[in-house]
Chain A
Amino acid sequence: MNSKIAKTFANCKREKRAALITYTVAGDNTKSNSLKILNTISKSADILELGFPHNTPIADGGQIQESSHRALKNGIKLKDVFKIVKEFKNSNPDKPLILMGYFNLIYQSGENNFLKNCKDSGVDGLIIVDLPYPENKKFSIKCKKKSIDFIQLVSPTTSDERMKKILKDSHGMVYYISMLSTTGGKLKVAPKKILQNYNKIKNINRSKNIVIGFGITDKTIAALKKADGLVVGSQLCKTITNSLKKRLNTAKVLNKMVYKLKKKII
């Protein structure tokens, strides 16, 4: 277990803090700007999630939909996504990058071809929103063979029995969805309750790095900082939307936001 993702979690643990994981959409609002954003926020972020946009995203709320829409309108294609990853990795070889998206794009590109492109560009992990367990079994084995972390998702509706099975087949990192919601929903569950569920998962296998996502903003992040990692996505997409409206330098504004988030969990 010496993936860059695992190393990053180990480092964070040594520093006794949660890992900060950001999510932005590749190509939002342009290809070059999204690369600039990655380069800038990687100073504060520990792991970067990069969305490859789909125009029918059934699990995303308004903020990420808007970012995806902007990116697609600007003509982003998968090959551009991989190019962005490659260029980012050239200047930040040790920073873990996780691609996140919907299965149809992988299906069309061909699983093996997609994974080859991941490997070539330096992708460290994959989150596929609509490829749940056990449907993802074969694909996750393929990922492992390429030393790419396939990140399983678990949610408040996941039964105990199912949770155990998912964790058993998971790689190093597991993503816990904090509540019943699409991305970008208001946190409607008490952080204490979320951490209770988190601990339940953690107790199944303490060696897994469990991150919490959905509904996490600068307002809610501090209350959850006991987790191994915390994902902020919609708030960053919203920040991009707002800074574009105000014609501000998106990378700069986003950098400030990510810095602020980081300060809240150290």
Chain B
Amino acid sequence: MKIKKGKLLIDQHDKNFMYGGKFGGNFVPETLKKPIDDLTKLFTKLRKDKKFLKERDECFKSYVGSPTPFIKLENLTDYLKGAQIYAKVVSEANGGAHKIYNATVHCLIAKKAGKKFIVGDTGAGYAGKMLSMAAKKFGLKCKIFMGAKDIKRQRPNVEAMKKNGATIVPVTTGSQTLVDAVSECMRYWVSNCDTTHMCVGSTVGPNIFIKICAWSTAQISRELFIQVKEEFGKIPRKIKLLNCVGGGSSAIGFWNEFMDTDAEFVGIEAGGPKNSNLHAAPLTNGSKIGILHGAAQYVIQDKEGQIGSTESISAGLDYPGISPLHCFLKDTKRARYTSANDEEALKAYQLVSKLENISPSLEPSHAFHEAIRLAPRLKSSEVIIVNSCGDSIKDKDIIKQKLGSYKR
């Protein structure tokens, strides 16, 4: 298994839409074959269409707010006395997270497809919030599927979705988190695929959704590539790009343009509570390949193939599977993966918010933990960049509950 140079990662699949012959594919009910096929054809056309690309870039610039800042975390670097730590503050994008890229592109596609309705899943609520925002902008009716447990723990984002006029469908089956929201959203699409466009909130699901999402979040590294060159005059040889991974959409977008460089990629999964067997880290903990939501991937499951329970303090990472693209990056050793537990993420959140002018949400706090752990062991000539892909404001309830108070 090998990654080809000079070819976009999303296009490195075989005729069965499998990456490395093992990951991805389209394991879907017959009813979805045609809508997926139609969407695939449309997207293939649109991504070559100069007018469409111009429209996208215009949206990213004036609506999403491109480029998002690239800053040196001077205080954190001084405090840790090792590698230079930088952050790509993607949380400065409109809406407060990277999910806006995928949501915007899906709405643009839905318009081109002539669909009036759009549905999506959400865990942390960011994917839902952004989809509801973009849907409102583009005049689409929006429905968001969200686990009942997540509705409770991510209240600020739920309120935002309501304000944007979206219908929120609470999912009360199974664990009542992201995995069930994605299932329920797909079920809804099976029943309404003739009138409705579906947006999968991360780089998971049938192949076309992985492609559209990764193609959209790639904007992050398009910007970063330029920003890094401006800062250092070139792409430094010893550079590490750290990103949390749940479904894996922000990490893929953060790494895409650096694929053929020497940059080291580190993905940080959710290790779950410290003294618990539950986690959301299938790559770190050696889960087996299985089929989840239409794609083959490493997935937390039991011996029989029943999808396993997960637990994480961060709703956005609380997912038993992981993008087939990350499985491919892991097996080709292009990226390495590790995990941070709930407590480590919280501590990292505290330290970064105390020392710096940014306040990462609990998802990127997992990545900041790894940066804090690595930096003191590295030389000051080395560079670590963390994707700060979400803002802590959405986690204020959890942080208040865990730490006693929340300041922003």
Q: Which of A72, A105, A182 has the most CB of B within 10 A?
A: A182
Closest to B194 in A: A180
Q: Determine whether B327 belongs to the interface, using a CB cutoff of 8 Å to chain A.
A: no
A180 CA to B34 CA, complexed, in Å: 12
CB 8 Å contact bits of B35-72 with A (1 = contact, 0 = none): 10000000000000000000000000000000000000
Question: Of the candidates A61, A131, A156, which one forms a contact with B27 in the assembled complex, judged by CB atoms under 8 Å apart?
Answer: A131
Q: Determine whether B26 belongs to the interface, using a CB cutoff of 8 Å to chain A.
A: yes
How far is the CB of A174 from the nearest CB of chain B, in Å?
11
A77 CA to B305 CA, complexed, in Å: 10
Known: A104-B292, A157-B34. A78 touches B191 (CB 8 A): no
Task: Please indicate the chain B residues that have their CB under 8 angstroms from the CB of A156 in the complex.
Answer: 31
A133 CA to B306 CA, complexed, in Å: 24
Q: Is the CB of A182 within 8 A of B33?
A: no
Q: Determine whether A111 belongs to the interface, using a CB cutoff of 8 Å to chain B.
A: no
A54 CA to B26 CA, complexed, in Å: 18
Question: Of the candidates A78, A104, A105, A132, which one forms a contact with B29 in the assembled complex, judged by CB atoms under 8 Å apart?
Answer: A132
A153 CA to B305 CA, complexed, in Å: 23
How far is the CB of A50 from the nearest CB of chain B, in Å?
16
Task: Please indicate the chain B residues that have their CB under 8 angstroms from the CB of A131 in the complex.
Answer: 27
Give the dominant DSSP class at B's interface. mixed
Q: Is the CB of A59 within 8 A of B303?
A: no
Q: Is the CB of B183 within 8 A of A153?
A: no
Q: Determine whether A129 belongs to the interface, using a CB cutoff of 8 Å to chain B.
A: yes
Q: Which of A56, A59, A132, A162 has the most CB of B within 10 A?
A: A56
Q: Is the CB of A130 within 8 A of B29?
A: yes
A60 CA to B292 CA, complexed, in Å: 15
Q: Which residues of A38-95 are within 8 A (CB) of B?
A: 54-61, 65, 69, 72, 77-78
Q: Determine whether A185 belongs to the interface, using a CB cutoff of 8 Å to chain B.
A: yes
Task: Please indicate the chain B residues that have their CB under 8 angstroms from the CB of A57 in the complex.
Answer: 183
Q: Determine whether B335 belongs to the interface, using a CB cutoff of 8 Å to chain A.
A: no
Question: Of the candidates A54, A105, A162, A180, which one forms a contact with B190 in the assembled complex, judged by CB atoms under 8 Å apart?
Answer: A180
Q: Is the CB of B34 within 8 A of A159?
A: yes
Task: Please indicate the chain B residues that have their CB under 8 angstroms from the CB of A153 in the complex.
Answer: 29-30
What is the total number of residues of chain A having a CB less than 8 Å from a CB of chain B?
A: 40
Q: Determine whether B192 belongs to the interface, using a CB cutoff of 8 Å to chain A.
A: yes
Question: Of the candidates A54, A59, A69, A181, which one forms a contact with B305 in the assembled complex, judged by CB atoms under 8 Å apart?
Answer: A54
Task: Please indicate the chain A residues that have their CB under 8 angstroms from the CB of B230 in the complex.
Answer: none
Question: Of the candidates A69, A104, A157, A181, which one forms a contact with B301 in the assembled complex, judged by CB atoms under 8 Å apart?
Answer: A104
Closest to B18 in A: A135
Task: Please indicate the chain A residues that have their CB under 8 angstroms from the CB of B305 in the complex.
Answer: 54, 104-109
Question: Of the candidates B31, B291, B294, which one forms a contact with A157 in the assembled complex, judged by CB atoms under 8 Å apart?
Answer: B31
Q: Is the CB of B33 within 8 A of A132?
A: yes
Q: What residues make up the interface of B, taking CB atoms closer than 8 Å to A?
A: 16, 25-35, 173-174, 179, 183, 186-187, 190-194, 288-294, 296, 301, 303-307
Can you name 27 A-B residue pairings with CB atoms under 8 Å?
A: A54-B305, A55-B307, A56-B174, A56-B179, A56-B292, A57-B183, A58-B183, A58-B190, A59-B29, A77-B304, A78-B304, A102-B291, A103-B291, A104-B292, A104-B307, A106-B305, A107-B305, A108-B288, A108-B305, A129-B29, A133-B30, A135-B26, A157-B35, A157-B193, A180-B191, A182-B187, A185-B191
